[in-house]
Amino acid sequence: MKLSVVMIRTLLFFLILCSIIRSKAEDGYRLWLRYERITNVSLLKNYTRQLTSVHIGKLSPTIQVAVEELQLAIKSMLVKELALTAQVQSGTLLLGTPASTPVIQAMNISEKLRNTGPEGYLIMSTAWNGKKVIVITANTDKGVLYGVFHFIRLIQTQQDISDLNISSAPKIKLRLLNHWDNLDRTVERGYAGFSIWDWHKLPDFIDPRYKDYARANASIGINGTVLTNVNANAWVLTPHYLEKVAALANVFRPYGIRVYLTARFSAPTEIGGLPTADPLNPDVQQWWNKKVREIYNLIPDFGGFLVKANSEGQPGPQNFGRTHAEGANMLARALAPFNGVVMWRAFVYDDKIPDDRAKQAFNEFKPLDGAFLPNVLVQVKNGPIDFQPREPFHPLFGAMPATPLMMEFQITQEYTGFSTHLVYLANQFKECLSSDTYARGEGSTVARVIDGSLHNYPITGMAGVANIGTDRNWTGHHFGQANWYAFGRLAWNHELTAMSVAEEWIRMTFTNELHVVNTIKKLMDSSWETTVNYMTPLGLHHIMGWNHHYGPAPWIQDKHRADWTSVYYHRADEKGLGFDRTPSGSNAVSQYTQRVSEKFGSRLNCPEKFLLWFHHVGWTEQLSSGKTLWEELCLAYYRGAAEVKQMLETWSTLQGKIDDDRYEHVRTMLSIQHKEAIWWRNACVLYFQTFSKMEIPAHLEKPDKPLSYYMQLEFPYAPGIKPKW
């Protein structure tokens, strides 16, 4: 049969349309909420048989979005729509709280819900009047929404739903993203485009991306977002911008997400017309009280303020001879009537203090333990310097039993290769969380500090510096999504393993095909350790490029402050390498509990992954392998670069098993990562060789360019650097 011209054109149009749809569908925009159709016939039949309809009680905005998400997922994955029914039948999904849904109330499950709190949930297979049903219930609508996302995840990852008995509640109360987004839409340390907040078009134009952002965060339990950079701009507190913030809050509210803002401490003088911002000045206090009331009139569920004060030139209470506690408490009093909180960052250091920068936060905050009001949390970075590829846990954890400490992780990869390096950070997060502070004996982990179980904190929190931008795939690198996902899952339950979280993400983002899942898991599992090897092995730290932090630059020196140079941290000389933080050096080890201090302070007992963080080690000194420091340093750098090559080769085996667009994107990024790992290897080994005066081990290939080549490289347009015109 001959095809007519019209038929041929129609067929061609259809093929082109399918190509366009496929291209759009696999650009990464849908994140882990792809909801791909289940092609396994038996599994599809099983799910379809068990899910016929959905029954809800009172419809609230949050229950509405929960039902919408459930219908979207079921329609996409099972190619069917759940009927909304008033009659419970076999296969009905019961959705709601006991208070809003009479059928669930009649099941008398209040006792089971007692331990789930305001955000936890139950997912149960049960029977109602002889009919088999699945119940997703909670004490609040927000909990129901989280339960719905969990249920959807079960189907996405192709789990058995025939006999469910799941109870889940978050271990940490405040689970926040910190956006370092500026009002001009640039993002400090952001590598995925510009800020997604289009301040110019708000409040009237609501970008659909805002809703998708809320969906993604709710799906992993994130319940708050700090919209603006910690290097704050006071203008966000003006009425013009607060109306825009309120518009975003309206989008996020049904998804259980509260908005927070960074408060610039000098706002009373910059936008309030006052001559001072002294926190003990009555006029200043009154100004903040009035400003907070103004915010809550627009945003009734406003979360509170995040503050960076007296750090890196930012204004703060010390400008007026006041303490961090006096500054934080002034804001806390203004927020307290509205149940708002202050998150006061402990990232403070001063170049006028001639002491180890790693010690400064502890020195400033430890004496203030117990001086903060109950609605203040001190937000502490995972390590004592600044989000390095690997750091020991911050000594403040466990040291402030009377002050709620919240964790600050960095999801954006400022020091781990930006958005061109595949680095799964869940392993880094877990290493910190599982570290034992010994604050109350063995088992006093960092996780138990921040979840409140160690010191009975009244409020708890975990924050992640976001890696989100206007790039179509949100995070620049497709695998950057995994770090956003992992942060949320671990903030909900820090007892999850890094690999169980990775497997969830892979199955939801790429495929459930077991070989592919295991291949990608293996690649992700090794990626962080690989990065540490080719960047900062054996406890080295802060040897990245000047200001922009792009690439290696261990030679940086003679800047306007010593602790913004590389030589300050590695202390290389003709004798050896490393920062002596033992009693013979800065004695930073003394800030840890005795058990930890003795371990880190002992040259023999210090874990070699932190060796050069705490010790200045001789070039010819033997390590546990029997090799010298110089040999081990070279081997680590070369091993890291070789491992990236292996990552690239491993990924190449997945061609044809991953959609072409994302496969090629990741392959290209891994090629860049391999090239830059070699750059790191060569530049660092050649530089440190000028001190060791020793040959690179004979079996290792020699760098093809001299050290001078690497030292003269400049990157005026690296992300974060302003053009010089």
Closest CA to 449 of 386, 369, 363, 528: 369
Query: By the 8 A CB rule, do 397 and 370 touch?
Result: no
Q: Is 372 exposed, middle or buried (0-12, 13-18, 19+ CB in 10 A)?
A: buried
What DSSP state is assigned to residue 156? H
Do 667 and 478 contact (CB within 8 A), yes or no? Answer: no
Instruction: List all residues 6 or more positions away from 502 whose beta carbon is below 8 Å from its beta carbon.
Output: 424, 426, 482, 486, 520, 521, 524, 525
DSSP codes of every residue in 10-75: HHHHHHHHHHHHHHHHTSSTTTT---PPP--HHHHHHHHHH--EEEESS--HHHHHHHHHHHHHHH
Helices (H), 653-713: 660-692, 707-711
Lookup: tokens for 292: 């907070």
**Which distant-in-sequence residues (6+ apart) come within 8 Å of 112 by Cβ?**
122, 167
Is 687 within 8 Å of 630 (Cβ atoms)?
no
DSSP 99-151: TT-HHHHTT--HHHHGGGTTT-EEEEEEEETTEEEEEEE-SSHHHHHHHHHHH
Distance, CA of 453 to CA of 438 (rounded, Å): 14
Rounded (10°) angle between helices 514-535 and 629-652: 150
Report the distance separating Cα 415 and Cα 482, nearest Å.
17
CB atoms under 10 Å from CB of 375, counted, come to: 21
Residue identified by tokens 């129609």 is: 10
Instruction: Please list, in sequence order, all residues whose beta carbon lies within 8 angstroms of the beta carbon of residue 132, skipping any fewer than 6 positions away.
Output: 50, 90, 91, 125, 126
Cα–Cα distance measured from residue 218 to residue 69, given in angstroms and rounded to the nearest whole number: 11
Integer CA distances (angstroms), 412 to 387, 388, 637, in order: 10, 12, 23
Strand partners, 381: 408
Sign of CA dihedral 148, 150, 153, 155: negative
- Closest by alpha carbon to 249, among 258, 240, 261? 258
Burial tier of 608 (Cβ tally within 10 Å: 0-12, 13-18, 19+): middle
Beta carbons within 10 angstroms of residue 392's beta carbon:
27
Contacts of 237-241 spanning 24+ positions with Cβ under 8 A: 237/261, 237/263, 237/264, 237/267, 237/271, 237/291, 237/295, 238/271, 239/294, 241/183, 241/199
By annotation, the residues acting in catalysis are 312, 386, 414
Q: What is the maximal distance between C-alpha atoms in the chain?
A: 91
Burial of 106 (0-12, 13-18, 19+ CB in 10 A): exposed
Helices 282-298 and 324-335 sit at what angle, rounded to 10 degrees? 40
